[in-house]
Amino acid sequence: MAKRIKKLLYRHMAWKFILLLAVLSVAVLISAGMGYLKISFYDVVNIIVTSITGNTEQMKDMEDVFSVVVMDVRLPRILCAVIVGAGLAVSGCVYQGILLNPLADPYTLGISAGAAFGASLAFLFFPEAGLYAIPCFAFSGAVVTLFVVVWLSSGKTFSRDGLSSNSLILSGIIVASILSAGISFLKYIADEEVSVIIFWLMGSFASKTWTDVWILLMVVSTGSLIIYFYSRDLNVIALGSRMASTLGINTGRVTMILLITSSLVAAVCVAVSGIIGFVGLLVPHMMRSMTGPDNTRLIPVSLLAGGILMVTADTITRAVLPVEVPIGVLTALIGGPFFCYVFRRNHLRNRGKQV
Amino acid sequence: MIYAIDDISYAYDSINILERISIQLEKGFFYGILGPNGCGKTTFLDLLIRHKKPNSGHITFSGTDLSKISRKQLARKIALVSQNFYINFPYTAREVVIMGRYPYISRFSSPSSEDLDRVDSIMEKTGVDLLSDNFITELSGGERQRVVFARALVQDTDVIILDEATSNLDIRHTIDLLDIVRNRVDQKKLTVISVFQNINLAARYCDRLIFLRNGNIIAQGKTEEMVNKCLIQKVFDVESEIRFESLYNSSQVIFKRGASETL
């Protein structure tokens, strides 16, 4: 029975994609109406349509402040959440595929620790430069970490052919723990600045602008297209690098392209929004039970699901909860236990089969 | 001639794994590669499938320099079945077999009905059709091995490389698999190059045997000439008796106590 349902889901990929896209659009519109100022669904749609068409005829009976709230305050924040969620989920798919480990995510390789370290440096040494210095430092931190991790794991003594997933994970863990010690040290010497660092580390979409949206959109959409182009190769890599070689894939090159692309996507997401855990881990994991492990289906579906999840989580912290909880804390508090549940259930199920 | 291997060497971290190997492999034969552990058998296969590049020397495949053939072209010519294969993601057995058609299907299209017919008929022939919807992660080692073998046949290549492909199969499935391979060699002029641990299986199924030791080819030739006491002593350090088994129409080796025990 379960198998039959799975088969049905496999066959209706296009519909599933359209359904998720619809859910995402509705979620964005509903979220834009929620908050301190309640705005009806109809008015939200009206405001967005008029600001795209430039036709102000229909806006006559509405207050100006509504338009400002939706277009300049809420939408940039909401869209940032959607794009960051999508980006983290897609890069999670790639990390899991390359590291041959369904439990890997953008954080396994120390990318987030690198970004966090970079941002902490910026807070400490360039507090005046503020808005621009932090994303730049976070991004550079992430990229430098990526190259250090790749360099560590591709050394001759580590593996004979390209990057082995074990040495990548090991190098990631080593580098991440050095960096987190570094962050602790920076916090220790930061004095008054320490609270700013702590808040940034917990992640937030508050006061994001259209500039953030465009930067994110450009990087995440380009990255996702590159990743989707190689999605079938990612399937074959699951068979191991030798077997993938004989199926026409240059494993070393494809791994490198995918690794760099997904790390750049993750780095930009982290640079804009701070550290938001569990989305990259959880979304591909959940979606795999809907689509199967085939990355040509998993990646597009995870992209949309990541967006939906993030905008929902952000709306909860912004408009539902009485006090705004940092979104990184929220995703970890909800995502963590949920992941434990999924992990334990699968574990028990597999064990039952072996007996 | 399908492979002309001219004076290739392969070293890793300045340890020579293969030293100045030259050999020619003909189309339509079943080659068995034998040798003690660590003699360079697997590395030799890696060079044949271009997973690794030799430090020196040339490999010519069907008259073309192997390193000049595109990977995609090569995937339509050479298939590999390796040992101890493991997948961490719950693909169904059929999905794994379909991957064997990837070299023929362009990146964004789905398999045609001919592709799928081919997949299903080969799964039936190799006896894995009943596993079709099972998750590869939940199959036993032997079942998984047979699925991967079906995947290699679906690839529709002139050459199949087996790296101890039967090492975790029971005797019945070992014989079934090697029978299928033997048939394809006889009927479709397939070339098969296989690493064996079990010399008696190799003696029964192979046309030609190649003995490797310490990165060198010690001997190579027709199976009936290769199976002899003296050579087995030289390659494996084990004393043996050779008996002709009329049922197989081939010689079989009976091992006496190993040389280390007689000390």
SS3 of B214, please?
A: coil
Say if CB B162 and CB B146 are below 8 A apart.
no
CB-based contact, A346 to chain B, within 8 Å: no
Say if CB A263 and CB A163 are below 8 A apart.
no
* Cα–Cα dist A119/A293, whole Å: 35
Helix (H), strand (E) at residue B18: strand B15-25
> What is the pLDDT, as a whole number, of residue B65?
93
> What is the pLDDT, as a whole number, of residue B262?
54
pTM: 0.87
> What is the pLDDT, as a whole number, of residue A167?
81
Contact A235 B78 (CB under 8 A): no
> For each of chain B's 263 residues, which pLDDT tens digit applies?
899 999 999 998 788 899 999 999 999 999 999 999 989 999 999 999 998 899 999 999 999 999 999 999 999 999 999 886 778 788 999 999 999 999 999 888 888 899 999 999 999 999 999 999 999 988 888 899 999 999 999 999 999 999 988 888 899 999 999 999 999 999 999 999 999 999 999 999 999 999 999 999 999 999 989 998 889 999 988 888 898 988 888 889 988 865 565 55
CB-based contact, B74 to chain A, within 8 Å: yes
CB-based contact, A214 to chain B, within 8 Å: no
> What is the pLDDT, as a whole number, of residue B78?
95
> What is the pLDDT, as a whole number, of residue A57?
66
* Residue A354 CB neighbour total at 10 angstroms: 6
A chain contacts of residue B103, beta-carbon cutoff 8 Å: 247-248
* Cα–Cα dist B32/B8, whole Å: 19
Contact A353 B72 (CB under 8 A): no
> Which value does ipTM take for this structure?
0.85
pLDDT at A101 over 90: no
To 10 degrees, what angle do helices A165-190 and A133-154 make? 140
DSSP state letter for A192: G
pLDDT at A202 over 50: yes
pLDDT at A116 over 80: yes
* Cα–Cα dist A139/A133, whole Å: 10
B chain contacts of residue A248, beta-carbon cutoff 8 Å: 71-72, 74-76, 102-103
Query: Look-up: residue for tokens 């979220």?
Result: A31
* Cα–Cα dist A71/A48, whole Å: 7
Å between A236 CA and nearest CA of chain B: 7
Closest-CA residue of B relative to A97 is B89
- Those of residues 278-307 in A touching chain B at CB distance below 8 A are 288, 292-294
Contact B49 A242 (CB under 8 A): yes
CB-based contact, B72 to chain A, within 8 Å: yes
pLDDT at A352 over 50: no
Domains of chain A: 2-354 (1.10.3470.10)
* Cα–Cα dist A160/A157, whole Å: 8
Å between A218 CA and nearest CA of chain B: 23
Q: Evaluate whether the domain defined by B3-223 bears CATH number 3.40.50.300.
A: yes
CB-based contact, B241 to chain A, within 8 Å: no
Q: Which spans in chain A are helix H?
A: 2-11, 13-33, 41-53, 64-68, 75-98, 111-125, 133-154, 165-190, 194-202, 210-229, 231-237, 241-246, 251-273, 279-291, 295-315, 327-354
> What is the pLDDT, as a whole number, of residue A9?
55
Interface test with B, best of A169, A246, A287 (most B CBs within 10 A): A246
CB-based contact, A38 to chain B, within 8 Å: no
* Cα–Cα dist B156/B175, whole Å: 21
What's the half-sphere exposure (Cβ side, CA atoms, 13 Å) at A133? 13
Question: Averaged over A196-203, what is the pLDDT?
Answer: 85
Q: How far is CA B20 from CA B56, B58, B63, in A?
A: 8, 10, 20
pLDDT at A1 over 60: no
pLDDT at A196 over 90: no
- Using CB atoms within 10 Å of the CB of residue A4, give its burial: 0 to 12 exposed, 13 to 18 middle, 19+ buried: exposed
* Cα–Cα dist B5/B23, whole Å: 5
Phi and psi of B14, rounded to 5°?
55, 20
Structure tokens at A52: 């795209």
> What is the pLDDT, as a whole number, of residue A42?
85
Summarize pLDDT for A126-166 with one digit per residue, the tens.
Answer: 877 666 788 888 888 988 998 898 888 876 543 444 567 77
Question: Averaged over A70-89, what is the pLDDT?
Answer: 94
Å between A127 CA and nearest CA of chain B: 46
The highest-confidence range among A14-28, A131-145, A301-315, by mean pLDDT, is A301-315
Contact A238 B85 (CB under 8 A): no
> What is the pLDDT, as a whole number, of residue A277?
83
Structure tokens at B236: 């494996």
Closest-CA residue of A relative to B89 is A293
Closest-CA residue of A relative to B90 is A293
> What is the pLDDT, as a whole number, of residue A157?
43
* Cα–Cα dist B85/B149, whole Å: 11
Segments making up each domain of chain B, as ranges: 3-223
Say if CB A6 and CB A53 are below 8 A apart.
no
Question: Averaged over A342-351, what is the pLDDT?
Answer: 69
Residue type at position A40: S
CB-based contact, B107 to chain A, within 8 Å: yes
